Amino acid sequence: MRKLKKAVIRVLKRILTPRQISFLKSHLRMLRTKITSGYWAHRFPRYARFFESMHRKIDPVELLHKAKPRNREALEAEYQEKGLDRVPDTFVLYRIIGNDLCPRHKKGQSRENLRFILENEPELENCEKRFIINRILDKEEEKAIIELLEDHKQPYLHLPFNPEAYKTIDWDTDCLPQPGYLAGEEYEYLDDEQRDRLTAATYRLKNNYLMNNNGARNAALREGKTVAKWVLPWDGNCFVTKTAWDKIHRDVTTSPYLKYFAVPMARVLENEQLLSDDFIPEPVEEPQIIFRSDTTEEFNEEFCYGRRPKVELMWRLRIPGPWIRWKDDPWDLQRGPLSPETRQFGVAGWVARLFSGMRVLEKNNKESFLQRGVARLESIIKTLQNTDTMVSGMTARNLTSFHEQVLEKEREVLSSGDDPDLSSLVNQLKADADEALTRGPYSVIDKTTLPPSGNPHDYWHPAPYWWPNPNTKNGLPYIRRDGERVPGTRMYEPESDKYDRTRLQRVFDDSTILALAWKFTGEKKFAEHGARILERFFVNPTTRMNPHLNYAQARMGWNKYKGFSTGIIELKDVYHYLDAVRILYSSGALQNDSLDSFKEWLAHYLDWLLESPLGKKERKATNNHGTYYDLQVAAITSFLGAEAILYETLARAQSRISQQFEPDGSQPAELERTHTAHYCCFNFQGWVNLAELATRWGADFWSFKAANGASLAQGARWILSHIGKDWPYQQSDVFDYERFLPLWFTVPHEVVESPQNSYIPHSKYAVKPLFSPHDGVRPYWNIG
C-alpha cells in the first residue's frame, strides 16, 4: 500500500502543476477534516463504524505497554556479561531549565515551577537530583534561578548564552526543497501554519544554539553516566510525586536488563494537585526517557526544539505512540536509521508536567494539542527574531546604508584638512546641494499627463519600449519596439515631466545629497529643503503620491491598463532615501507629525508590496528584480521596526543566493541579457546594499555558502576579477567601467584581494560620487 501511494504521488507530480497539487491537497485535508469531525458518520449512519475507525484515537500508554522488547533472553545475558547485575540501581535526575517562550509559556513560569519543585518534591529513593541552566537570555531571570538553586543547595551545570557565538549562525536555507523556494510559486500556496513551520525550519540552526534542547539533554546524559547507573535527562517542568517515583523505581529495578524506559507524562492544570499522595493522573503525553549508563544512543542535536527533538530518538528506538503516524514536511530533516538498540525498552510509571501558565493550552484534547503547536511555533519564531535584534544592537532609528561612526570620523578629518581628496569631495557635495535647493519640492500631481486611472496622485510611468499599435484604429494594444524608448521615459530628458519617474528619482537623490550636506556643513537650509521635499511628495494630502505602483511601466491595452511587476524596481532607491530621512529628522528640520505621516504612508506601501498581485509576482523574480524587491522590503521594514517581516525578508534573500549565483560566482540570469556587464554589476550592487543592511541586523551574507557551493563572497571575487580588463561577455551598449569601483570599495576587504593593477585609485574619495540612477549606486556612495 505504501509503495502504491508513493507511485501515485510521483505520477501526480509529473502531470499536475504546483497550483493543482496544492488545490488537491487542500481538498484532501477538507475531506480528512470531515472524516475526523464525524461529518460523514452522521450523514451516512450505515457506515458510521467504518468512518469512526479511520480516526480512532491512539492511546499512547496502551501502545507502550503492548510493545514487547526484542529477545529478552539475549538482553538478560548481555546485562549479566557486563556485570551490571552487580551494580546498584542508582539514579540521577536532571531537570533542564531553559527560556520562557511567550506566548507558549507565561514569563517567569520556569522559575515558578522550579520553586515549586524545590519546595514540594519529595526525596526520591536512590536518586540524586541535578539541574541544568540552559542558555537563558534574560540575565535577571537567569540570576534569580541560580540564586534559587544555590539557596536550596542544589547542584547544577550552567550552559551560558554567548551572543558572539549566536551571531555567527546563519539561517538554514539549505533545508528548502529547491533554491529560491521562499520566493517561488509553491511557497505562495502554503497555508499559514505551513509557512510558520517553514520559517521555524529556516531558524533550525539558531534554535539549536539558543534552545539547545537536545544539546542540554546530551550534556546531562554524558555527565549522568559517570554518576549513576540510570540517567533521567528530563524537561525542567517535570515533577515526580512519591507515588510516581515508587512506580518508576519498581518498574526499572524489576526489568533492569532493558536499556531504556519510556515514562508517560501527564499535564496538570493546578500544580497543587501533586501535593496529594492519592493523585494519579492520566499520563497520555509524549514520554520522558530513562537511559541505562551503558546505552549507546543519544538525542540527535540536529533536531531542534519544536520539531520532534525527542520523538526522533523514539522513532529510532521504535517506541510506539501517536508520533508513528506523524508526517514530515519537505523541509524537515531526514529521519535517522533504526538504532541497533531498537525495541530494548520498557515502560516505567509516570511523571507530571507542571503548569505552563497558559491554561487554554494544557487541556487534554485535540483542540488544545493543536493550539499548543501553533503557540509553540509562534513563540520559537518570536523569541529567535527578538534574539537576532538583541545581539545586533539595531533599532529602527539606526542608519542602514551609511555608518554614523564613519560620518563622524570624516567630519573630523575634514576639519583637520588632512585629506585633500575628502575635502574636494565635500566641496562637490556642497555644490550639488546648492543646485538641489533650486529644484523641487516635487509632487506626482505636477506631471502633465494622467495615468489610466485618471487620478493624478497615482504614480505613472509607461513601459519605455511599448508604442501604439499601427494596425489598429485606437492603437491598442501597444506593441514592443525593442531598443526604441517612448519620449519622456528616459531619465531627466525634457519630456520626462509628462511622467513621474524623473520626479521620484529627484526626491531620492536630492534628499540624500541635502541630508549629507547638512551633516557636513550644519547649514539648516539643506535639511529644511529636504524636509519640504518629503512633506510635499509623501505627506501633504493635496500633493502626496498614493502608496502603490499600479501604473509603473504600464502597457496600454494590457493588464487592464495597469502596470507590470517589473515597474516596482523604480522605487528601488528608497533604501538610501530612508537613511536621508533619518538624518533629516536628526537635524530637527523634519517634525514628528510629518515623520509619523510618512511612516503611515510607508506602512500602506509595504502592505501593497507584500499583498498585491504585482508585488507577489515581483517577489518571485529570479534575477535582479527579486534582489531589489527584497532590498525595498528590508529597508522599509527596518525603518518601521517591523522586525518579523524584516527577518523573513533577509532569510528569503539568503535563499536566493543559490538561485542567482553559480559556484564560480557568475550570475547566469544576468548573463542571458544583451547588456551583461551592466546587469551583472547592477544586480551585484543590489546584493552589496542588501548585505550591508543585513549585517546591521546581525545576518552575515558574506560568510554564507549554500549547499550547491554558491556564495556571495565568490560572486564578489568573480565580478571584481574583471576590474581593468575587457568584459568577455556580450555588452551591446556603452558601459561605464568605473561601475566596478563602488563594488570594490564597499565589499568587505577580507572577501577579496586587491587586484595587481593601477586601475583602482588610492582612495575611494578620488572616485566620482555620482553614477546613473539605473546603476543602483547611491549618491555619494563614497561618503559614510
pLDDT digits (tens, 9 = 90+) for 567-594: 999 999 999 999 999 999 999 999 999 9
Q: The cell 550639488 sits on which residue?
A: 432
Per DSSP bridges, beta strands 461-462 and 466-467 are unpaired
The beta strands (E) that lie in 1-126 are given as 91-97
Q: How far apart are CA 470 and CA 98, in angstroms?
A: 72
Confidence of residue 62 (pLDDT cuts 50, 70, 90): low
pLDDT at residue 669 tops 90: yes
Burial profile 56-66: b = 16 or more Cβ within 10 angstroms, e = fewer: eeeebbeebee
> Within its chain, how far is the Cα of 529 from the centroid?
38
Single-letter amino acid code for the residue at 768: K
Confidence of residue 103 (pLDDT cuts 50, 70, 90): low
At residue 611, what are phi and psi to the nearest 5 degrees? -110, -20
Alpha helices of 82-212 — where are they, by DSSP H? 109-120, 139-151, 163-167, 185-188, 192-202, 204-210
Question: pLDDT value at position 733?
Answer: 85
Confidence of residue 40 (pLDDT cuts 50, 70, 90): very low
Q: How far apart are CA 510 and CA 779, in angstroms?
A: 9
At residue 564, what are phi and psi to the nearest 5 degrees? -120, 160
pLDDT at residue 29 tops 90: no
> Within its chain, how far is the Cα of 534 from the centroid?
32
pLDDT at residue 66 tops 70: no
Helices 676-696 and 624-640 sit at what angle, rounded to 10 degrees? 30
The beta strands (E) that lie in 684-734 are given as none
Q: Collect all residues with Cβ–Cβ distance below 8 Å to 164 and sequence separation of at least 6.
A: none
How many CB atoms lie under 10 A from the CB of residue 692? Answer: 20
Question: pLDDT value at position 28?
Answer: 63
Nearest CA to 742 among 714, 703, 701, 772?
A: 772
Q: How far apart are CA 644 and CA 652, in angstroms?
A: 12
Q: How far apart are CA 100 and CA 570, in angstroms?
A: 44
Burial profile 341-378: b = 16 or more Cβ within 10 angstroms, e = fewer: bbbbbbbbbbbbbbbbbbeebbeeeeebeebbbebbbb
At residue 461, what are phi and psi to the nearest 5 degrees? -155, 115
Q: Kind and range of the H or E element at 39? A: helix 39-43
Q: Provide the mean pLDDT of the chain.
A: 90
List the Cα angle 66/69/72 in 5-degree steps. Answer: 135
Contact 500, 453 (CB under 8 A): no
Nearest CA to 606 among 650, 583, 559, 639?
A: 639
Give the tens place of pLDDT for each residue, 392-405.
999 999 999 999 99
Q: Kind and range of the H or E element at 554? A: strand 552-554
The residue-averaged pLDDT of 148-177 equals: 96
pLDDT at residue 367 tops 80: no
C-alpha cell at 542: 493635496
pLDDT at residue 740 tops 50: yes
How many CB atoms lie under 10 A from the CB of residue 279? Answer: 15
Confidence of residue 421 (pLDDT cuts 50, 70, 90): very high
Question: pLDDT value at position 561?
Answer: 87
pLDDT at residue 770 tops 80: yes
First to last CA, the chain: 65
pLDDT at residue 781 tops 50: yes
The beta strands (E) that lie in 348-484 are given as 351-353, 461-462, 466-467, 479-480
How many CB atoms lie under 10 A from the CB of residue 288? Answer: 23
3-state secondary structure of 132: strand
3-state secondary structure of 129: strand
Contact 302, 208 (CB under 8 A): yes
The residue-averaged pLDDT of 479-484 equals: 81
Is 231 or 270 the better-scoring residue by pLDDT?
231
Half-sphere exposure of 79 (CA within 13 A, CB side): 21
Question: pLDDT value at position 559?
Answer: 87
Question: pLDDT value at position 281?
Answer: 85
Q: How far apart are CA 176 and CA 195, in angstroms?
A: 12
Single-letter amino acid code for the residue at 428: Q
At residue 338, what are phi and psi to the nearest 5 degrees? -60, 145
Q: How far apart are CA 761 and CA 744, in angstroms?
A: 11
Q: Collect all residues with Cβ–Cβ distance below 8 Å to 772 and sequence separation of at least 6.
A: 491, 736
At residue 230, what are phi and psi to the nearest 5 degrees? -125, 130
Confidence of residue 55 (pLDDT cuts 50, 70, 90): very low
Contact 450, 498 (CB under 8 A): no
The residue-averaged pLDDT of 176-200 equals: 92
3-state secondary structure of 345: strand
Nearest CA to 92 among 118, 49, 126, 44?
A: 126
Confidence of residue 485 (pLDDT cuts 50, 70, 90): confident
- pTM of the predicted model over 0.85: yes
3-state secondary structure of 315: helix
Confidence of residue 69 (pLDDT cuts 50, 70, 90): confident
Give the tens place of pLDDT for each residue, 346-365.
999 999 999 875 555 555 55
pLDDT at residue 70 tops 60: yes
The residue-averaged pLDDT of 151-179 equals: 96
Is 113 or 752 the better-scoring residue by pLDDT?
113
Query: Measuring CA to CA, how many Å separate 414 from each of 371, 520, 587, 783?
Result: 60, 9, 20, 12
Nearest CA to 315 among 287, 338, 292?
A: 338
The residue-averaged pLDDT of 172-196 equals: 92
Window from 36-50, 233-247, 617-631, 689-703 with minimum mean pLDDT: 36-50
Single-letter amino acid code for the residue at 710: A
Nearest CA to 680 among 699, 664, 704?
A: 664
Per DSSP bridges, beta strands 345-347 and 260-267 are parallel
Nearest CA to 692 among 585, 603, 781?
A: 781
Per DSSP bridges, beta strands 285-292 and 260-267 are antiparallel
How many CB atoms lie under 10 A from the CB of residue 416? Answer: 9
The residue-averaged pLDDT of 293-314 equals: 97
Question: pLDDT value at position 43?
Answer: 52
C-alpha cell at 560: 487592464
Question: pLDDT value at position 376?
Answer: 83
C-alpha cell at 399: 542608519
Question: pLDDT value at position 39?
Answer: 44
Question: What whole-number percentage of the chain has pLDDT above 90?
Answer: 76
Question: pLDDT value at position 370?
Answer: 61
Contact 173, 166 (CB under 8 A): no
Query: Measuring CA to CA, how many Å separate 738 from each of 145, 307, 624, 750, 769?
Result: 59, 50, 20, 22, 11
